[in-house]
Structure 1
């Protein structure tokens, strides 16, 4: 396989392990920071722990660190902070050790440790879906499409990450696995449903991790944890669903861009022309629209509003044209339609819980094991008629067409990711009575579902931190197939306002010496 990172030569990586300060100057602060700038209590971490995945892959190719060493260091970091953030639901250490020992160094991300969200099939293992019903899940006979591609490009999965039960909520607090916490503040959520993945990347266990986005499930955790979270165009990668698309969370734009270039579906049957490798900003100045209020008409909190106004000021200073836009459809009706469709998918979840015999689980048995929100959604979904669901899909399709018409007059749409900064633990979880939970959800997550319904791409970038030190992401969306535009803009914003040097109070590399 041709290595798309050939421009990152051994000379660019690490002349000597002990020469960390020189290496930091060569790679740049946005990717690798001097240990002096990151001084914290506890052991001094290895410089490899500070690298993004692209730099670590180059170091492994240069034989400055072996795949086995890289894996053991990642495992040590995971074990050091798992008691505090609880981001791992199942370890696969022995499986990963066997892979590390036989790594093919020609693969682009050869030997880079990786994590898989606990809803993706991994051959020989069962998915858990964040639920105590995991014991009825069948053992996978093959890898999910994206898991397979990740392994083909050299990534080495060594654990599964936590998620809310059945991926329903934008937080990660479960009866099955407990509470997953945000490394920026342990009293707050990392988001969901890819919450464990986001917490792990933000805490420095790994430079990037697998996730998926069905209603903002990559972008919301990215926003809450100060990461890059790209939701790709529908079927850009393959292996997703009508609403959900799998991909990754990372700390740098280049990791996200390099991974997309490697795993996107190419050739016959591809839904779009390939994005290809994106490495730099574009010289093209963009028409950028923005919408402040949510789809349901809710106004964002002052901190979130500030994240938008400061980002727009930065974009304008960079020469982009800014203009205010409006939702071109009835946002309240759209939210109702999306909610109905989303809840109707619970029927499919129940089918997966049948244990393979086709019989529906006994309601009394279910109620004892699953969270009240999951049970209530399952009960409600049984009452939805096929006609009402079909009508909701029809209206969502009309809203999607109106949404894409916006891009006749703009290149990128800027909105918040969430109405508020990261929620506190306990505010939104599956044990809260459903009417209260739904009200809280409507006042928290009110932007990201549009791209899932329409299939369009969007990316959350860490453009703001609150006065209390919590990350707040800003969403950038574009037309179907517009990932290159989003990535080029992300490179420009990362260069203008670097974020990769920011470290949360809980930073795993400062707790280990490997």
Structure 2
């Protein structure tokens, strides 16, 4: 396998080639390091390199592991690695170096994955982009003038550009699925409590809305990582394989959000296209509305989201032993944290109860439908700088961000698994993701549907402007 073949291969194929002796783990890792060094100056997806660590692990990797020797990136947020700088995209944490590995890092190592570095995010992962004052902008390989989406944008940029086939992300309101949509990838958010909550979120108001997983180019890679994590965890749900479905699914769909946020025509067209494809595959599709008071649910969700940001900062104040100095935090982060601190324990408890009620309420919907289909986002990825806060009113950006991503947060609120699938490209050759959600614990159903869609409409044939070790003209 040469460098171009490795850039285009998924993790499953790479691991199979390593086990078969076609190529060594050392060669695979060196190729990924070379692509990262070539493309990071163009895209800004990597924060900290781990070259020597990656080489050492490649030389000793367990070939019996399911993804033995496959290079990946770990998001620079929540997932700590001993001896590695961890910043969460913030100048406040510029000098912090972890002393122990997080559980998810240990799980990935057991799966055979080899980290070559950490991936960029926005400060404290609070926005639908991967731009930060600490590290600069992360650029979209499909159009480097545009955002990658976020907050797992560095992960998505690296996978879309062919640097690595798999990259870790986390998702509290869409942070895996948003960049998957913007970068033309497959992104799955597992169910609430699918695996243990990250240690750094223990006791946080946001713990119940958080999920950890990956962005990938293929469905089978996502399924393989989920299986590997389940094998190392005492908790699990249904089988996470991506085998073919046994019967037609009942798919409900909506092209516009219940909150009434306007949706770009390309995103509506993506849903129409997905509806037609699902119907051709033998599924039953019908336009529907979800039950519930969405205004009340959104208010409750934002209480937990912002209170979680405040708890996150308080955690780091305790670790570092000193509060942020002026200029350490971006104005938006300051505003979100202040907003989160304004809520009483009673308000936070009430917000949690509202989310639990919404999860019970949607159970009636799952009695009639297997899947709920919407756009992933309300618009194509905007230009870099769109998510810059107005210094006079930083919190205004919270509403602007919510308008860009009015669909994804709902799955976090009710605890359902959800995925963004790259089935559509607009006239500007930008990927437009389609969002599918299922009942809690039904990752197996989503993965089976995604595999079927991937077989019917292979998306790996699409290549961004910047891919592998090469950049090409957009209209070439």
TM-score, normalized by length of structure 2?
Answer: 0.93
Residue 273 of structure 1 corresponds to 237
Q: Deviations over 1:85-129 (max 9, x none)?
A: 100000011111111122222222111111100011112224210
Alignment of 1:78-477 (within 5 A): 78-119=36-77, 120-135=79-94, 137=96, 139-240=97-198, 241-264=207-230, 269-270=234-235, 272-278=236-242, 280-356=243-319, 361=323, 365=325, 367-430=326-389, 433-477=393-437
**Quick one: distance in 2 between partners of 1:257 and 1:136?**
35
| 1:52 is the counterpart of 2:10 | yes
Q: Is the 8 A contact 1:133 1:353 kept in 2?
A: no
**Quick one: distance in 2 between partners of 1:409 and 1:47?**
44
Residue 33 of structure 1 corresponds to none
Please report how far the alpha carbon of residue 172 of structure 1 lies from its aligned counterpart in structure 2 after TM superposition.
1.0
Q: Deviations over 1:65-101 (max 9, x none)?
A: 1111111110110111111110000001111111112
SS at match of 2:73: strand
SS at match of 2:53: helix
Q: Is the 8 A contact 1:146 1:237 kept in 2?
A: no
Please report how far the alpha carbon of residue 396 of structure 1 lies from its aligned counterpart in structure 2 after TM superposition.
2.1
Match of 1:64 among 18, 22, 29: 22
Which moves more between the two structures, 471-480 or 349-358? 349-358
SS at match of 2:208: coil
Q: Deviations over 1:431-471 (max 9, x none)?
A: 65324313322321111111112211001100111100111
Q: Is the 8 A contact 1:457 1:481 kept in 2?
A: yes
Residue 508 of structure 1 corresponds to 468
Mark the CA change 1:64 to 1:357 in structure 2 (over 3 Å): closer, same or farther: closer
Please report how far the alpha carbon of residue 355 of structure 1 lies from its aligned counterpart in structure 2 after TM superposition.
5.0
Q: Is the 8 A contact 2:423 2:433 kept in 1?
A: yes
Please report how far the alpha carbon of residue 53 of structure 1 lies from its aligned counterpart in structure 2 after TM superposition.
0.5
Q: Is the 8 A contact 2:417 2:439 kept in 1?
A: yes
Q: Is the 8 A contact 2:335 2:395 kept in 1?
A: no
| 1:494 is the counterpart of 2:454 | yes
Q: Is the 8 A contact 1:77 1:511 kept in 2?
A: no
**Quick one: distance in 2 between partners of 1:148 and 1:435?**
37
Please report how far the alpha carbon of residue 266 of structure 1 lies from its aligned counterpart in structure 2 after TM superposition.
6.6
Please report how far the alpha carbon of residue 196 of structure 1 lies from its aligned counterpart in structure 2 after TM superposition.
0.2
Which moves more between the two structures, 281-290 or 435-444? 435-444
Which moves more between the two structures, 233-242 or 87-96? 233-242
Q: Deviations over 1:317-340 (max 9, x none)?
A: 111111111121121222122112
SS at match of 2:267: helix
Residue 484 of structure 1 corresponds to 444
Residue 35 of structure 1 corresponds to none
TM-score, normalized by length of structure 1?
Answer: 0.86
**Quick one: distance in 2 between partners of 1:500 and 1:443?**
29
Residue 24 of structure 1 corresponds to none
Q: Is the 8 A contact 1:212 1:244 kept in 2?
A: yes
SS at match of 2:140: coil
**Quick one: distance in 2 between partners of 1:289 and 1:266?**
34
Q: Is the 8 A contact 1:104 1:110 kept in 2?
A: yes
**Quick one: distance in 1 between partners of 2:232 and 2:61?**
25
Gaps of 5+ in 2: 199-206
Equivalent residue pairs, number:
462
**Quick one: distance in 2 between partners of 1:442 and 1:74?**
35
Which moves more between the two structures, 294-303 or 116-125? 294-303
Please report how far the alpha carbon of residue 277 of structure 1 lies from its aligned counterpart in structure 2 after TM superposition.
3.1
**Quick one: distance in 2 between partners of 1:220 and 1:115?**
18
Please report how far the alpha carbon of residue 511 of structure 1 lies from its aligned counterpart in structure 2 after TM superposition.
6.3
Please report how far the alpha carbon of residue 294 of structure 1 lies from its aligned counterpart in structure 2 after TM superposition.
1.5
Residue 77 of structure 1 corresponds to 35
Mark the CA change 1:464 to 1:46 in structure 2 (over 3 Å): closer, same or farther: closer
Mark the CA change 1:276 to 1:427 in structure 2 (over 3 Å): closer, same or farther: closer
**Quick one: distance in 1 between partners of 2:266 and 2:101?**
41
Question: Alignment RMSD, CA only?
Answer: 1.9
**Quick one: distance in 1 between partners of 2:118 and 2:280?**
42
Q: Is the 8 A contact 2:168 2:213 kept in 1?
A: yes
Please report how far the alpha carbon of residue 307 of structure 1 lies from its aligned counterpart in structure 2 after TM superposition.
0.3
**Quick one: distance in 1 between partners of 2:399 and 2:416?**
27
SS at match of 2:327: helix
